[in-house]
Structure 1
Amino acid sequence: MSRRTTSGKGLRAAVLAVGLAVIATPQVSAGDLSAQQIIDGLKVSRTRSLSAPAQPALTQGDLDFVKSVRGKTRSLSMGDRDHLAAIAAKRPKIDLDINFDFDSAALAPRAEPQLHSLGKALTSDELAGSVIMLGGHTDGKGSDAYNQGLSERRAAAVKRFLIETYKIPAANLISAGYGKEGYKNPAEPFAPENRRVEVVNMAAKQQAANK
């Protein structure tokens, strides 16, 4: 089934809260984030400040849910994805996107600088052991069903890179596909910046290890 046939169905409302995008380029540019910047963005803030208000604490129910889906290899149900998105809206996230070519789940060379910065950040002392969600997104071309599968493959590609290149345990990574939900650029659904994977710190190391 081709994505070049635009679906006539209405788009589902976006459920994943997102920030501004940083588009990966072949060489590290002024817009690329360093590993330290990613660490700073994904760290859980325990105290309120003028620049970074404290994030709401995870409820026990939300923490139990995150633990129940961490490391899953099968596709998540719609209910699971929506539950994750609701939790992600309250969690620290970095304005970092791993972008993809049209109709592709292959990691492009231009994304490599940001992928390596992400891998270094997630293996740092500050973030190692945290449970991280990788949320895949597509642009607006094609059917809902096709784009759902494509977004899942994009998230899985980033997860595979982090596991193979940086030896991050699969149990510390959650890959979820959101299809055409949560456009980065809602004014232009077909814009390339909508084809991306976003990163959210779902549970800090201490929370994830808590029984």
Structure 2
Amino acid sequence: MTSFLGFSAIRVITVCAAFTMTAGLALAGDGTVPADQIVHALQPKPLTRGLSLAEPQIDRAAKAKEDTFLSSVRNRRTRSLSLDEREEIASIASTKPNIDLEIQFDYNSADISKTSMQAVHELGKALSNPSLRGSTFVVAGNTDGIGSDGFNQDLSERRADTIKNYLVQKFGIAGSDLVTVGYGKTKLKDAQNPADAINRRVQVVNMEAKTAQK
């Protein structure tokens, strides 16, 4: 498979850092982020053109490679993604509008915690917003650091699938617009406390935002 890890326009950073967007958001008492704030976080930011005439050409080339890669993972089963593909998704995602909603799951389970059902509902409302229509969203599952690598990888994939199924069934969002990926325990939000529930979360990123130019 052709590797896209060499994109000069993409800087590889940890997904945990890339998705940490909850700071400054007005959260409900249970930590739920309202739909309008999710929409705002996932909308593209204006792009200011540089002075170099070559710059737009580099952007177009990088965008074409991203589009080719996204097409290759669209409609794929979550567990079919290779390690390289998972890391490439993380790499591209690091440059896109994103938010970490910290959706919680029951321990050792892909069942959404009752306390997080409203958070998932708000996500569904946000992704149904006309301003986000036509984008492809990554839904990334993460576990805590307890247990084997294989068990946690499988669990994270099932958690991502749970969120996708909810969004498709409850909000009618096209399955082809949702790319699911699992990172197991490889991208802990709190590496100092691997068993903390904060690590059991789902992250969302707008992968195909149409960026406005100034």
Of 60, 68, 71, 1:64 maps to: 68
Please give the alpha-carbon distance, in whole angstroms, between the structure 2 residues aligned to 1:193 and 1:85: 19
Question: RMSD over aligned Cα, in angstroms?
Answer: 2.2
CA contact (8 A) 1:21 1:193 kept: no
Please give the alpha-carbon distance, in whole angstroms, between the structure 2 residues aligned to 1:70 and 1:193: 28
For structure 1, the 5+ residue unaligned runs are 1-13, 23-27, 49-55
CA contact (8 A) 1:132 1:201 kept: yes
CA contact (8 A) 2:78 2:157 kept: no
Is 2:55 aligned against 1:18?
no
Please give the alpha-carbon distance, in whole angstroms, between the structure 2 residues aligned to 1:154 and 1:113: 16
Of 116, 126, 132, 2:137 maps to: 132
The secondary structure found in structure 1 opposite 2:156 is helix
Please give the alpha-carbon distance, in whole angstroms, between the structure 2 residues aligned to 1:178 and 1:43: 24
- Aligned residue number for residue 100 of structure 1: 105
- Aligned residue number for residue 53 of structure 1: none
Please give the alpha-carbon distance, in whole angstroms, between the structure 1 residues aligned to 2:70 and 2:31: 31
Of 142, 148, 159, 2:153 maps to: 148
Aligned ranges 1:1-211 → 2 under 5 Å? 15-16=14-15, 17-19=18-20, 28-29=28-29, 31-47=31-47, 59-75=63-79, 76-204=81-209
More helix by share: 2
TM-score of the superposition, structure 1-length normalised? 0.79
Please give the alpha-carbon distance, in whole angstroms, between the structure 2 residues aligned to 1:107 and 1:71: 23
Please give the alpha-carbon distance, in whole angstroms, between the structure 2 residues aligned to 1:201 and 1:125: 14
Please give the alpha-carbon distance, in whole angstroms, between the structure 1 residues aligned to 2:19 and 2:121: 22
The secondary structure found in structure 2 opposite 1:133 is strand
Please give the alpha-carbon distance, in whole angstroms, between the structure 1 residues aligned to 2:37 and 2:189: 20
Please give the alpha-carbon distance, in whole angstroms, between the structure 1 residues aligned to 2:72 and 2:140: 17
Taking a change above 3 Å as real, the CA distance of residues 21 and 40 of structure 1, as seen in their structure-2 partners, is closer
TM-score of the superposition, structure 2-length normalised? 0.78
For structure 2, the 5+ residue unaligned runs are 1-12, 49-58
Please give the alpha-carbon distance, in whole angstroms, between the structure 1 residues aligned to 2:102 and 2:46: 25
Could you tell me how far 1:72 is from its partner in structure 2?
A: 1.5
Taking a change above 3 Å as real, the CA distance of residues 71 and 193 of structure 1, as seen in their structure-2 partners, is same
The secondary structure found in structure 2 opposite 1:188 is coil
